[in-house]
Structure 1
Amino acid sequence: MNATAKTSEVRLILPALADYLDTVRLVLYGMAVRAGYSYEAIEDLKVAVTEACTYIILQQENAGGEGWLRLDFRLLPEALEVSAQGGPGFRFAPAVEAAEPMSGSEIQDASPERLGLYLMQALVDEVRLTEGEEAGSEAIVLVKRKT
């Protein structure tokens, strides 16, 4: 059976610290290579997932504590789906609701959160919010389809 004909899933639960972003990128790279993604598609995914994780890390630091970061990687027959979630009550909606299409100088003057969301939307095929596993929390789901 072809390795991409079935669904494969990996879950990471890590401290919400930048020190662990290399681990996230290594898992993502391994799954994307296994699925046959191009180098360019893998790099796009790495940037988008890193932006989602960085948003979680910064928001949890700003909330006054060290939280956790949960990532679910799902290798589907036609796509790689990555879900990123922070600790209890963590929400992406404020950043998503504040984001509007940007152009020219707006990109240069954008806040890190707004720029990160812009990058995620530009680099993957689908960005959506889902209910997180913890009560009142949200996860952001990034989907990159095979081309």
Structure 2
Amino acid sequence: MTEHTETPAVDMGAIRDVVSVRLPAASAYLSVLRTATAGLAARLDFTLDEIEDLRIAVDEACAMLLTQAVPGTDLTAEFELTGQLMQVSVEVSTVGSAAPKRDDFAWMVLTALADDVDAVTDSPDRMAIVLRKRRGAARPA
């Protein structure tokens, strides 16, 4: 006689994947990050428009950070995928840099393309920009 055990249902919304990418803090390598962003967003079934928004937002965040990055250091990106949400954190080493100005055009682009944007400067020698985008979230008119 065989015993039947029921496998518990997996809540796909609770699965959390984290992908980290480290590359030289130079604009020549940003195409790698744009490609990773698009691939990971597609994994969450983001629409083509949402994927393109994320690619542009990540590119813009990196461009803002690279102007303050210490030459010869790395840019790190962490992609966290949870259910319908993608969070992207890009970070560089800096020397005494201030947080990005929230009234700059670049910041306005970021906030238009992502659902939530924040700059993190917890340490005087590191800066990060964190973007969050939820699949299917309505963009402001």
Mark yes or no: TM-score above 0.5. yes
Once the 2 structures are TM-superposed, how far is the Cα of residue 130 of structure 1 from its aligned partner? Answer: 3.2
Q: Which residue of 2 aligns with 1:84?
A: 90
Say which SS state the counterpart of residue 72 (structure 2) adopts.
coil
Q: Which residue of 2 aligns with 1:14?
A: 23
Q: Which residue of 2 aligns with 1:24?
A: 33
Matched, 1:50 2:39: no
Say which SS state the counterpart of residue 80 (structure 1) adopts.
strand
Alpha-carbon spacing, 1:87–1:119, altered in 2? closer, same or farther (3 Å): same
TM-score, reference length from structure 1: 0.75
Computed over aligned residues only, the root mean square deviation of the Cα atoms, in angstroms, reads 2.2
Q: Which residue of 2 aligns with 1:145?
A: 134
Unpaired segments of 5 or more residues in structure 2? 1-9, 137-141
* Partner amino acid, structure 2, of 1:67: T
Q: What CA distance in whole angstroms lies between the structure 1 residues aligned with 2:77 and 2:53?
A: 17
Q: Give runs of ≥4 in structure 1 deviating > 4 Å.
A: 1-5, 88-92
Q: What CA distance in whole angstroms lies between the structure 1 residues aligned with 2:120 and 2:62?
A: 16
Mapped contact 1:91–1:139 kept (Cα < 8 A)? no
Q: Which has the higher helix share?
A: 1
TM-score, reference length from structure 2: 0.78
Alpha-carbon spacing, 1:91–1:79, altered in 2? closer, same or farther (3 Å): farther
Unpaired segments of 5 or more residues in structure 1? 101-113
Residues 1-147 of structure 1 mapped to structure 2, 5 A cutoff: 5-60=14-69, 65-89=71-95, 91=97, 93=99, 95-96=100-101, 99-100=102-103, 114-130=104-120, 136-147=125-136
Q: Which has the higher strand share?
A: 2
